[in-house]
Every structure is written in C-alpha cells, then in structure tokens.
Structure 1
Amino acid sequence: MARLTRHYAHWPPGVPHTLEAPECNLFDFLAASAARCPEKTAIDYYGAQMSYRTLLDAVLKLAGYMQQRLSVRRGERVVLLMQNCPQFAIAYYAVLRCGAVVVPANPMCTPAEVAYYVADSGARVAVTTQDMLPRLTPLLDNGALAGCLVGACSEFAGQPRDVPFMEIPAFVREPRQRFTHPGVHEFAGALAAGIAPTPLVDTAGLAVIGYTSGTTGEPKGAMLSHRAFSYVVSQRVLWFSDNPDSSDLITLPVNHVAGMCALNQALVQARTMVMLARWDAAAVPRLIEHHRIGCWAAVTPMLVELLGRPELAQHDVSSLRRLYGGATAMPEAVARQVEQRLGVPYIECYGMTETCGSTHMNPPQAPRLQCAGIPQVNVDARVIDPDSGVELGVDQPGELVMHCPTQFDGYWGRPEASAGAFIEIEGKRFVRSGDIGHYDEDGYFYITDRLKRMINASGLKVWPAEIESRLHGHPAVQEACVIAAHDARRGETVKALVVLREDARGTLTPDALIEWARGCMAAYKVPREIEFVQSLPRSAAGKLLWRMVQDQQNQIDSKTNQVAQTEDR
C-alpha cells in the first residue's frame, strides 16, 4: 500500500507536510535562547529563578569540569540519576556540550538496576543529587564508576516563604552535605572551578541512551540521536504554534524521553519552565494561576487526581492554552471533564522511547477523543498483520509500525534485538510498536492495546484497555486495571482492579459495578471479578504497570491450581 495521506485533510494550518531536521547539537538550542533572552527566567524551582544566562554559564562550567577533571570525552556515556531539578537540566546539556551521551536513570530504580545501566552502557561517570548517592556509592567503591558529581537540590531551590501555598519536599530542602569519598565531586565546587570547555567539534551523533521498561528480559538502551531530538522539537513548535512568552509546567519526569522533549521544547522557544521535583496535584492549580502557565504536558493519572482536588475550583487556570500528553490512554469521560473544568481540550499523542517521543498527535484544531491522532511531519505509519506482515486497511486492527525521522538507531550493544525491532516495507525500515491499533477513513489512528496483553476468553479476544476505558465512565471509578484471571471453563476470564474516588468509597460494591458494566459492553467483556484496591502501580512516566499486576494474579492462580490438584488426588 502507498503511504497514508488522507489525514492531510485535518492537518494543522500553516504546518508543512515535510521538514528538514536541523543538524545540530541540542546544546545549540540553549546557546541560541540564552543569546536571545539572557535575563529571562529559564527555570523556576520552588520560587527560585534561574535566568537563561545563568543556566548557560552553569552548563559551560560543568562541561569544562567534566572534560578536565573527569576526562569525559566525545561519545562517552554519563549516567544522570536525579529527580526533576535544575541540576538535571544543567548536567543534561553539559554532557551534550562535551559531545558525550546522556544515560538517564529513573530515580525509582533499585541499586541493582542502576548498576545494570552503568555496566550495560559502559559509563564511567555519573551525576546525581545527595538523596540518590547511596545507590551509586557501591559502584564507586568497586571501581565501576570512576567519579560522581553530587549536588543538593536546595542549592537551586527557593524557601518555604517563597511558595507558601505548597509544600517543598524534604529532600529538596535538605542542606548540602559534605562527602569524603575520593570518587565524589561536589556539583557546586565544579561550577565554582570556572573551567571553560574545549571547542565543540562534532555537533551530531548519539545524544541519549534511553532504557526501555524491559518488558522481555533485561532493559534495552534505545540509541537516540541529536537529530531525532532536534526534529521532535522543531515539529512540535510548528504543530502547536504556542506563544513563546508563556510558561511551561514541567511535571513529567525529565529522566524519561517525554519529559526531556517537554524540557527541550520549552528551552528552544526560551520559555520559562516551572519545575516540580515530584508530582503535587494540590499545588498545580495555584502554580498555573501564579505563573500564568500556558503549556502543560501531563499524563492521565495526573489529570484524574487533579480533577478530584478541591483546589482546582479555587484558582484561575484560564491561562492554560495547551494541554497534551500520552503514555497511557485517556478515557472519554475523563477527557470531557478535563475540557469542561480546565477550559482546554486534552491533545492526545502517541509515541515510544524508540521513536524519541511522539509519532502521532491530534491536530490542535481538530482533536478527537480516545485517539492517538494523525501521523506527524514526515511520519509514514502503517498497520500490519503482526504474524504475516501483510498491510491492513481502514478499520482493520493490527500492529502499528512507523518509519520516521525520529526513530532510534537500534539498541545499545544488542544487534539481534535491534534487528527484531524493525520490519522492512517497500525498502524502508519501520519500527515495530508492539501495539494493536487501526486507522479510520480520515486517517486518525486509534490504539487498542498491547500486542501481548490480549485476554483470550473462550476463544474471544478481549482488549483490556477498552474495558478500562468503559469502567472509567462510571462516576465512582477513579482508575482501573484489567487483567486475565484463570477460569476452569473459559481458560481466561476478565478481572478488574479498581480504585474508587475517595468520596465514593463504601457506596459501591463489586457486584453493583459488574451489573453496571453489563449495560455498556458485550457480555464476554464484562469483568467476572472486580477487586477494589487503594492504588495501582505506575511507572515514573505514568504508564500503568499492568504486567506487575498480571504477574501477581498469575502467582495467585498458580497456588490455587496447586491446591485444587492436591485435593483432587
């Protein structure tokens, strides 16, 4: 089949259908913004402001220190282990200014997981904050790391008096500690050394190794280039056409590709970034009002929690002009509440680490609910039969594959896994998403579920995401996770773990919710079992960790089966 173009009828006005990616280092965007708006606030962190001039100066000094004192050279990998903080932004662009490669580690990682990232990437140096240092100390002791730059979040944070309307996390307020370990270098000391970096020779190449969640085996490092990130930023600026004078609220974790793209997008337009170290739903309405926030990238769980906060009705959030995100499905009922109460539609997008962020996004002037959107600039998206590779047509569900300028260069050190991540169509390499979806007559794409998440109930295919979305339509339901449970007759059956809204707890029974479900979905899709829980596990990026929930259920089913077999004997 030919490349899909029917979505051009719904294309954002003024946005070209093709775009040349700038061949530059991401650091160049910071240098340009600092030259254009040196005194403008780049980062507001709990009331403390850092200008673009100050940010650039810190980046150059840290880059010089890493080159001269830690021998960081072009192509070397440097691990960043931090919550959202100005130090992450400084270290991120400093590593890139060195011509080195950022290896972001999730702050939720265990010491063993951090050790895996260090060993797999071959990193010698890490940058962290003092609350995270204990996870890296064993690697300094055993020589896996040659050095570690350590900062204190409080060095760039405001005081409680600066933000009386919100609580500053304890680790952000913690005064700077002194360390005697020979491998530890103080972040503040590195800046105070005032060492200038050597000239930047190579402006292209590898920028980030973003580790995937490791759905099969160990996590794999997706190699993402400067060109890919530059392309993401360039097309989003055109796609949204947002006011460069507005402020951005940064609540997504910047150690994740989605958060990095939000960071880069604000920086390229020299906008002010209001950064939260951790998600704080109670503070968000006040921050939007106080800073006149215009753009916010958020995921569904954040918005679900925000809608339940009384603070939302107490503050003026009318400055918000752009609200967008992806990672997890946005139920239609929640999307309608968001638009009604925040005054703007939620612009859903779709992408993955391997495509350096979004490949699909709803056009701002014509968004659709529960929809991944349309392929973005220069994205060739198809739907194929996951087994045969045969291309499918309108409304035919299959695996979504994409060929785009932002696709990754393969997995670090894993040629076999890299080969399996692509499929060749008409001489082009397409990234296999592992997601099941379809497109409609207008070229809008819809994601049904993960390829391997399907529940087989008596031979009938059940997609959990569809049922989760339906359950969100009940006024008492805050969140839901649908998994497969063993059934002696059906093989597998549908089970739902449900988090009720706080004001609805104790007013609804599982049986009543099951009965309600019978009225809005086919009988074979209705959960046979519903369990009310206090919370559901999610990743730092907001993705529902359904595999964790499914694994727990599998263990329960296995024990139950063993007991049954013993009794039969």
Structure 2
Amino acid sequence: MEKIWLKMWPKGFPKQLTFVEKPLHEFLRDTAKQHPKKAAINYYGNQISFQQLDELSDRLAAALCDMGVTKGDRVSLFLENCPQFVIAYYGVLKTGGIVVAVNPMFKEDELKYELQDAGARAIVALDHLYPMVKNIQKDTSLSHVIVTSYWDFLPDDPSLPIHSSMKTPKKVFSETHEILDLLAEYAPEPPHVEIDIRKDPALLQYTSGTTGLPKGAIITHYNLLHNTVGSAVWNRISEDDVHLSVLPFFHVTGMIHSMTMPVHTGTPNVMLSRFDTGTAMKAIAAFGCTTWTSITTMNVAVVNSPDIGQYELRSLRHCLSGGAPIPEEILKKWREIVGAELVEGYGMSETISQTHVNPHTNLKYGSVGIPHFGVDCRVIDVETGDDLPIGAEGELLVKGPMVTRGYWNRPQETAEVLKDGWLATGDIVRMDEDGYFYIISRKKDMIKASGYSVFPAEVEALLYEHPAVEEVGVIGVPDPYRGENIKAFVILRPEYRGKVREDEVIAWAREKMAAFKYPRIVEFVDELPKTGSGKILKRVLRDREAKKGDHHMTKSELLEQMVKDAGISKSAANAALNSFITASQMR
C-alpha cells in the first residue's frame, strides 16, 4: 500500500526513530545518575525519586536472583497501579526475566490459566489478592510469592482521596516474602545479564480474550523500547511535563504511555491506583499534570461530571485516548473544557500499544490517525486476501518494529496471524484519501443480518447520538428470519432513567439507520462487562444471550418485520414465511 499518510506527517518529526539500543532499565539507571533527586513517582503525596526507584528495583532484582530467577524465567505481577509495580517491573527486567503482568481483577480460574500458560516461577501480589494465589499455587509452577500492600508506599496523610478498596489494613502471610523485608535485606546489587534487545523477550503480554482464550504475545526489549521512545517523541515530551497515570499498568496502553515513557523521559508520574473521576480531576489541578493517556469511559466520565467546574484542567497539553471509538460529541466537549484536543490512537497487545495515532496538529475526529513510526499497513479483503483500494473496508494488516514475534507456545495461532512479518489484526478498517484510518469493527464481531454485513461499532456510534445513551454495546443474536438480529445493551444517563423506554430507542434508531442496521432489540442495563482496559466484552454478552436461548420473534412479529424490511404486502410476507417454515421443517 502506498504510504499516502506521509503527506500528513507532523512537521519536524523524523519518519523513522533513531535511539540508543539498550534495555529500558539501563535508561532508568542513566536518569537516576543525571537527575537523582527528581521525583519519578508521586503516589498520593509520597514522592519517590529516580535514584530511589533505580535502587529499589536493583534490590528486588538481587532478591529475585537469590530465589533462583534467571534470564528467561517468567515473573508475574498481580498488582494494581502502585510504586511496587514499577519497582517489580524494572527489577524483573534487570534479572533478564520476563514480566507477566496479569489483570488484578482476575478470578481464580483466570489467574491460574495465565500462570500455567506462562509457566511463571514467581509472583508479586497485593495482599488482598494473595488468597487467590494461595488457592491455585499448587496447580502452577510458582515457587516464590512476594506480597505487598498499598500501605507499604502510601503516605500517612495522603494528598489525594484514596479509593475505598485501598483502605483495608495491611495483611501479612507467614508463608510469603514481604516486599519491604526484601528491599531492606538485599543490597542494590543486581546480577549482570547480557541482553540482546532485538531477540530477548522482556514481556509476555496476554491478549484481553474478547473473542477467545488469552494468548501471550512475546514482546522483546526492542519492541518495548521502540514504542516507549515513539510515545515520547510523538507527544513532544519535555523535562517540564507531569504525567497523570491511572490507566492500568498491566495493559499495554497504560504500561507504555503511563509507566515506561515517563521513566524513559525522566518526567514525574502522578500515580493513582484506581480511577475515580473526582480524584483524577483533583490530581490534574493539584499537581499541574500536562499529560494524560486515558480510555473512552474515563473521558465520558470527566466531561459528564457535574463537578467539572470545580477543577482547573487546562494544564493538560497532551491528551491521548483509545480502547474504543470516542463519540464526536465527547471530543468536542473535551476540547471546550480542557482546551487541548483529545487525540485518538490504535494499538494491540501484539504491538505493545500504538501502531496508529492522530497528529496533534492535524487530527480527524472519528479516526485513529495515521500509521506511527516505522509502521506499514495493508487493508485486505476478508474473503480473498486481496489488497483493497482507498476507502474500501477490509481487515487491517500491520508490519513494524513493535510487532510481536509470536504467541508463547502457540505456533499454530502464530502462523495464523503472522505471515512474513505482517500481523493480521482482526479489525475491519478503512483508509481515507489522506491516509487516516477508521476502525469499523472487529472481524469476529461482524453481524450478518438479512444478508448484510453490520459492524457493531457503526451502530454504537449512531446510538451515542441519542441524548439518553451513556454507554452502549451491540451484538448479533440468532434470528430465524434475518439470520442474526441486532441487539443493543444500553446504559442510560442518570437523568433519563425511568423516563425513556426501550421501544422508544428502537423507534429513534429506525429513523437514523438503514433498515438492515438498526437494533431490533434494546435492553437497558446497569453495567457492561469490560476488560481491564475498558473494552466491552462482546464475548461475555454473547455468552449471556446464548444461555437465555430464545430470541425468536413470534410469527406476527416476523410478518411485521418482513413487511418493513422488504416493502411487501402482508399476504406476500405470510406466503413467503410459510414457505420458509415448511422448508426448515423438511431439513
């Protein structure tokens, strides 16, 4: 595909990144020497300098080495955002080990699956999560468990409100290692390990499992470094920037833009363990945060907050978001309130975050932007694999220095998505005449309704225009006439609850969308199942619907639907339906 996006390339930016090729932890060491007293982390008022961060991760690396962790061993982090996550992450890298950051919202079976799949030898876990680890440890390869508490690094008098889930008193377990004991006992003398950054894995990043069992994408030290540097350059990070970090570090977007990039650039990180709208706004105002990478649900919560007028948010200069399409209404409100544009991007676990980002000076609403540093793209026909022209919708393939080398112990799955360096993303996109990309839907989420292909994201984007809709997730459900029906799960804005009905939303949608596209079924819900990164779990919605088992319309409803969709008389529809029923019974 011709790289037409280069004509929109930001002025003054290099087309390719150039940087010293060494592991991320070596850059931490450099920063600690150059700016030893500068704050690396501000955790509810507890400030940790770069020198302290480097030394603490050295101490933990020495402890892990003494436990037998060597190059290539997997070490799991079962932690919310906290200083211990950063300490452990860089400590593992210093041993030559491979980080396996697991979702702290996991239940036992989910945790056991990833620990077994990765073959993790050790784990660093929060104390309130340890009981889960204890229950499944016998079924895993874990030989060492390190436990920590929020209170190990929280100040006595936090400068920001701490989330209610963090207020539980510290717990100690005799059969585990206490992280504070290890940091006190071991000298800051990590092992010397030779790292080939182009080949050696630094991370097993598990996919979110929105369409199946999670798979561990093998991320090399070079993959990590490239997108870390790319994030800093694209956002023009300077030594005066201050980051708000609330996206979960176990996920690629939070890991790169909210953890490794601030460390790499030697810039302070105002760290929150859990997202709370008021606390996030208070942190921005109190500490003059200039950079915030977030997700759509956070952006929606901020612009809709009744308290937004109480906080000065205009210190923000660099605002990135991803995870799901952002309604244009939210983008415009954000710009009005904050003063800076909210820039959308796109990436995957397999690409350790960004492959596409909007240029700050020339963004397009609704687009995820243009290919990032070193990225090449193709848009192909999902049936034939042929390359498609500009404007056509097809599957996105990407190639570049951030692409995984494959899935851990999954050669067949690797071969299915990686061919000659091209990664099949499974996302349906289109590219416009300027080289900007637009996400249409997941290939596996595509709905076949009356022979038409319907992409849930399109329906969701239109439903967001309804004033009563706060959040929405769309899936296909079985239907004997249409093949699949379109169903929308809607969370209503608080002021509309009890004042609008499902059938009214359907009637509104009928006027806004093509006959084959509008949802025939709407269900109001209080919440939607999501991954830790905020993506709606369509798989869970589909599973729930499958268990209900019955989405069939009555014959009279089918007749009414046929008349509307096909524009035929009721008698003709009745004859066609009877023929269909007879044929179905004979099969």
Normalising by structure 2, we get a TM-score of: 0.91
User: What is the deviation of 1:48?
Assistant: 1.3
- The aligned residue for residue 362 of structure 1 is 358
What is the letter of the counterpart of residue 290 of structure 1?
Answer: A
- 5 Å-filtered alignment, 1:397-416, equals 397-416=393-412
Spell out, residue by residue over 1:135-163, the C-alpha distance to the aligned partner (whole angstroms, 9 max, x if none).
1113445673111111111111123x433
CA distance in 2, matches of 1:74, 1:192: 24
Could you say what secondary structure the match of 2:146 adopts? strand
User: What is the deviation of 1:353?
Assistant: 0.6
User: What is the deviation of 1:67?
Assistant: 0.6
Indicate yes or no: 2:314 matched with 1:335.
no
Spell out, residue by residue over 1:24-75, the C-alpha distance to the aligned partner (whole angstroms, 9 max, x if none).
111012112212221111111122111111111100011011112x111011
Indicate yes or no: 2:169 matched with 1:172.
no
Work out the number of aligned pairs and report it: 553
User: What is the deviation of 1:107?
Assistant: 0.6
- The aligned residue for residue 18 of structure 1 is 16
- The aligned residue for residue 232 of structure 1 is 227
User: What is the deviation of 1:351?
Assistant: 0.9
- 5 Å-filtered alignment, 1:449-468, equals 449-468=441-460
Identify the match of residue 301 of structure 1 among 292, 297, 300.
297
User: What is the deviation of 1:173?
Assistant: 3.7
Flag the 1:431–1:318 CA change in 2: closer, same or farther, 3 A.
same
- The aligned residue for residue 68 of structure 2 is 71
Flag the 1:557–1:144 CA change in 2: closer, same or farther, 3 A.
same
CA distance in 1, matches of 2:168, 2:472: 36
User: What is the deviation of 1:217?
Assistant: 4.5
- The aligned residue for residue 244 of structure 1 is 239
- The aligned residue for residue 25 of structure 2 is 27
Determine if contact 1:332/1:473 at 8 Å carries over to the other structure: no
User: What is the deviation of 1:111?
Assistant: 1.5
Spell out, residue by residue over 1:207-262, the C-alpha distance to the aligned partner (whole angstroms, 9 max, x if none).
00011123454321100011011100112222111332121111111011111102
Flag the 1:143–1:412 CA change in 2: closer, same or farther, 3 A.
closer
Determine if contact 2:116/2:140 at 8 Å carries over to the other structure: no
Identify the match of residue 420 of structure 1 among 416, 419, 432.
416
RMSD of Structure 2 on Structure 1 (CA): 2.0
Spell out, residue by residue over 1:408-433, the C-alpha distance to the aligned partner (whole angstroms, 9 max, x if none).
01011111111111134xxxx20000
Could you say what secondary structure the match of 1:199 adopts? coil
What is the letter of the counterpart of residue 397 of structure 2?
Answer: V
- 5 Å-filtered alignment, 1:1-400, equals 3-20=1-18, 22-68=20-66, 70-141=67-138, 144-159=141-156, 161-163=157-159, 166=161, 168-181=162-175, 184-195=176-187, 196-202=189-195, 204=197, 205-215=200-210, 217-262=212-257, 263-400=259-396
CA distance in 2, matches of 1:538, 1:187: 31
Indicate yes or no: 2:479 matched with 1:484.
no
What is the letter of the counterpart of residue 246 of structure 1?
Answer: D
What is the letter of the counterpart of residue 176 of structure 1?
Answer: K
- The aligned residue for residue 511 of structure 1 is 503
CA distance in 2, matches of 1:308, 1:460: 35
Flag the 1:399–1:522 CA change in 2: closer, same or farther, 3 A.
same
Determine if contact 1:139/1:145 at 8 Å carries over to the other structure: no
Deviates more, 1:213-222 or 1:452-461: 213-222
CA distance in 2, matches of 1:144, 1:51: 35
- The aligned residue for residue 561 of structure 2 is none
Determine if contact 2:237/2:265 at 8 Å carries over to the other structure: no
Determine if contact 1:297/1:325 at 8 Å carries over to the other structure: yes
Determine if contact 2:89/2:99 at 8 Å carries over to the other structure: yes
- The aligned residue for residue 501 of structure 1 is 493
Determine if contact 1:484/1:495 at 8 Å carries over to the other structure: yes
Could you say what secondary structure the match of 2:503 adopts? helix
Identify the match of residue 544 of structure 2 among 536, 544, 552.
552
Flag the 1:116–1:485 CA change in 2: closer, same or farther, 3 A.
closer
Determine if contact 1:435/1:448 at 8 Å carries over to the other structure: yes
Determine if contact 1:22/1:231 at 8 Å carries over to the other structure: no
User: What is the deviation of 1:99?
Assistant: 0.7
Flag the 1:487–1:300 CA change in 2: closer, same or farther, 3 A.
same
Could you say what secondary structure the match of 1:499 adopts? strand
Determine if contact 1:485/1:557 at 8 Å carries over to the other structure: no
Runs of 4+ more than 6 Å apart:
559-562
User: What is the deviation of 1:559?
Assistant: 8.1
Identify the match of residue 425 of structure 2 among 422, 427, 433.
433
Determine if contact 1:153/1:171 at 8 Å carries over to the other structure: no
Flag the 1:142–1:213 CA change in 2: closer, same or farther, 3 A.
closer
Q: Percent identity?
A: 36
Flag the 1:171–1:536 CA change in 2: closer, same or farther, 3 A.
closer
What is the letter of the counterpart of residue 278 of structure 1?
Answer: R
Larger Rg: 2
Unaligned runs of 5+ in 1: none
Determine if contact 2:370/2:435 at 8 Å carries over to the other structure: yes
What is the letter of the counterpart of residue 330 of structure 1?
Answer: I
User: What is the deviation of 1:200?
Assistant: 3.1
Flag the 1:311–1:561 CA change in 2: closer, same or farther, 3 A.
closer
Could you say what secondary structure the match of 2:41 adopts? strand
Deviates more, 1:527-536 or 1:517-526: 517-526
CA distance in 2, matches of 1:548, 1:141: 29
Unaligned runs of 5+ in 2: 555-580
Determine if contact 2:245/2:272 at 8 Å carries over to the other structure: yes
Determine if contact 1:383/1:391 at 8 Å carries over to the other structure: yes
Normalising by structure 1, we get a TM-score of: 0.93
What is the letter of the counterpart of residue 260 of structure 1?
Answer: M
User: What is the deviation of 1:554?
Assistant: 2.4
Flag the 1:141–1:454 CA change in 2: closer, same or farther, 3 A.
closer
CA distance in 1, matches of 2:74, 2:18: 28
Deviates more, 1:287-296 or 1:194-203: 194-203
What is the letter of the counterpart of residue 416 of structure 1?
Answer: Q
